[in-house]
Structure 1
Amino acid sequence: MADEAVATRAPENDAFDQGNVADSSGPPEHSGAMGEHCVSDRPTPTGEVPTGETTKLGDVDVYITKPADYPHAPSKLLLLLTSGTGIKSTNNQLQADKFAAEGFLVIMPDQFDGDAAPNSVPEPVSPVQSFLEVFKMGIVDTAKSFMIDMWLARHTPEKVLPILHRVIASAKEEFADAVANGGGIYAVGYCFGAKYVLLLGSENPDSVLWGEEPTDEEQGMVKKGPFIKAGAVAHGTQITPDEIAAVKVPISLVCVDNDPLFPNEIREAGVEALEKNKVEHEVKVFPEVPHGFAVLGDYADPKIKEAQRHAFGQMLGWLQAH
């Protein structure tokens, strides 16, 4: 890369150089890592303040935000599943508020049970670094990666799905009007949360929902799910082609081209299966944007800002159409 390119490179584009790029010899089983954009927030847009409230639903902490005219005007229930930054993130709360402003009663559950991802905001890089400084940064990056891996090991489908099911069950009771008005529950998911929108939109034996292989006995069992009516996901992580293939509800996919955390091979294999299964879907691939771009937050690059607006419009339009 030329010196001029290095000097003008936007910091957010560093995401393209992080993570393990999938082996091009065949579709990988999953994108197993999480990047900086999954566990840290962009700067919050100036002057924007969340309008919802944090409370409990099904004994789970949730951020709830409602349309200004609810309950006097009908609303639809939307489950919003976040990246690793969780429900205390101002940006995630503002993201939920944006959907509420469009007529959805939004429930954003604490799917991490108070254990949001370790903050791994990269340290500023000076133009000239000694070997020792570079070595120290390598140690810090390794420690961050280890912490995130340990965090992921604590938040598996066996841990996360029961939390979501409790929230869904309670939401059906407390906000029965919104569920009925929409004919079911809608869901959106970003990064980590995208995987769980796919699982909630699937029809599987219990063991598959908990991340296990079905036993011989379960092959003939009555399957459970889907638990949502329609879903939209953006730049998912830790997703397998089989998880996309199992989806039975209309699904919209916002993707990043050449995303090391959601490789093209996984997307293509999953979409091929959706087409084979005749599941209604749409896919939009955004080039030259970082993983995590669709999550509300400020960027210096106007192209990324514009892509963020388009991604929100795509997800909102999909939900409104279903």
Structure 2
Amino acid sequence: MTDAELATKAPESDAQDTNTPPPPSDSPAATPTPTNPLSEHCTSDRPTPTGLSSTGELTKLNDVDVYISKPPDYPHTPSRLLLLLTGGTGLHSVNNQIQADRFASEGYVVVMPDLFAGDPAPNSRAAADMAVAAEASSSGSSSLLDVFKVKAAEAAKSFLIDMWLARHTEEKVLPILERVLEGARDEFADAVSHGGGVYAVGYCFGARYILLLAAERPSPSGQRQGQGDEEANRPAVVAPRIKAGALAHATLVSKGDFGGLKAPLSVVCVENDPLFPDEVRIAGEEYMSENGVEHEVQVYPGVPHGFAVVGDYEDANIKIAQVTAFEQMLKWINEH
């Protein structure tokens, strides 16, 4: 790929968990959450490309609302199971549904869960309306009152996002994913068996959960594993929940979220992305290389955060990058 920076690719091997407890001294330290943890691209869809519509179905899986898209010839032709985790626009976004359909057309049974229990991220309609009104009223004027109106609208938008994030924490989202994985393994046992496990892709908000699902984590039960003295002193762990994963323009990721990774990962990044800072990306790459996690990292220049999700752009370079990112992620899961 000529316009993307290819980072390292190393063989997979063992790594230490750092997700739930504080990271050990030899792991990347956690970094603070960005001041503005979500962008408009995480909470608002681009226009749907002309002539496209979704073809899957909305249903429930283990009492969780999901969008399911299947290959046209499934189950007559064996398929693999893919979990798709969305950004804040969520389950009912037509663009997200079309994204799932694209993977389905490549031979995957795609399960896209509602990560937010019917509460997608606010695209700040009320706050956005405030901002538009404020900007309109301040047109041609530089009065302090007009500036205050704009700043107040921006603060309202940030407040809505912060409140939304407080409702959708790791403690809320991971149990939803566990229920969906359990239901998918029952409902689509043939696809799971055919692929030798579950594959997963994630975007924006959902991208961080690809990291968490790809990692070995301490068991919540705290039970010990093994019978020998040495093994008995080690805490039981939960194995990675996915066989391989790919993520694009992640947000809300700290350096510590790379701890414990075991499943092979492909990472799509945006150059100079404040929502996934270079220091976090570089620390993640170093951790994966040092701990033998098979991975690839591509950095795409000249594209906005959110570019890899279906959506129309006027810029031809962004359109090309969008196709390239999909091909990168698809190739990775196909090869694993």
Interval containing the TM-score (normalised by the shorter chain): 0.7 to 0.9
* SS of aligned partner of 1:297: coil
Aligned match of 1:211? none
Aligned match of 1:289? 303
Distance in 2 separating the partners of 1:260 and 1:287:
13
| Alpha-carbon distance, 1:300 to partner | 1.4
| Alpha-carbon distance, 1:258 to partner | 1.0
Distance in 2 separating the partners of 1:144 and 1:158:
24
Aligned match of 1:5? none
- Following superposition of structure 1 onto structure 2, how do residues 263-278 of structure 1 map, counting pairs within 5 Å? 263-278=277-292
Contact 1:30–1:241 (8 Å) recurs in 2: no
Deviations 1:199-243 (A, max 9, x none): 0110011469xxxxxxxxx98311102000000000111111121
| Alpha-carbon distance, 1:128 to partner | 4.7
Aligned match of 1:4? none
> Which amino acid counterpart does residue 29 of structure 1 have in structure 2?
T
Aligned match of 2:316? 302
Distance in 1 separating the partners of 2:178 and 2:299:
31
Aligned match of 2:89? 85
Percent identical: 59
> Which amino acid counterpart does residue 117 of structure 1 have in structure 2?
A
* SS of aligned partner of 1:259: coil
Distance in 2 separating the partners of 1:224 and 1:205:
6
| Alpha-carbon distance, 1:244 to partner | 1.6
TM-score (norm 1): 0.85
Q: How many residues align?
A: 288
- Structure 1 position 56 matched with structure 2 position 69: no
Contact 1:85–1:116 (8 Å) recurs in 2: yes
Gaps of 5+ in 1: 1-25, 209-217
Q: Provide closer, same or farther for how the CA distance between residues 28 and 128 of structure 1 changes in structure 2, counting only shifts above 3 A.
A: farther
Distance in 2 separating the partners of 1:301 and 1:168:
38
Aligned match of 1:14? none
Contact 1:191–1:234 (8 Å) recurs in 2: yes
Gaps of 5+ in 2: 1-27, 222-231
* SS of aligned partner of 2:52: coil
| Alpha-carbon distance, 1:135 to partner | 3.0
Aligned match of 2:212? 199
| Alpha-carbon distance, 1:103 to partner | 0.6
Q: Provide closer, same or farther for how the CA distance between residues 139 and 174 of structure 1 changes in structure 2, counting only shifts above 3 A.
A: same
| Alpha-carbon distance, 1:98 to partner | 0.5
Aligned match of 2:256? 242
Distance in 2 separating the partners of 1:219 and 1:233:
35
- Select 2:80's aligned residue among 76, 90, 108: 76
Deviations 1:31-83 (A, max 9, x none): 43111111110000011010000000010000000000000001000000000
Deviations 1:115-151 (A, max 9, x none): 1000137666679542344432221111010100010
Pairwise CA RMSD: 2.0
Aligned match of 2:183? 170
Aligned match of 2:31? 29
> Which amino acid counterpart does residue 190 of structure 2 have in structure 1?
D
Distance in 2 separating the partners of 1:253 and 1:88:
25
Question: Which of the two has higher C-alpha Rg?
Answer: 2
Aligned match of 1:44? 48
The higher relative CO (CA closer than 8 Å, separation ≥ 6) is in 2
TM-score (norm 2): 0.82
Deviations 1:169-212 (A, max 9, x none): 0100110000000000000000000011110110011469xxxx
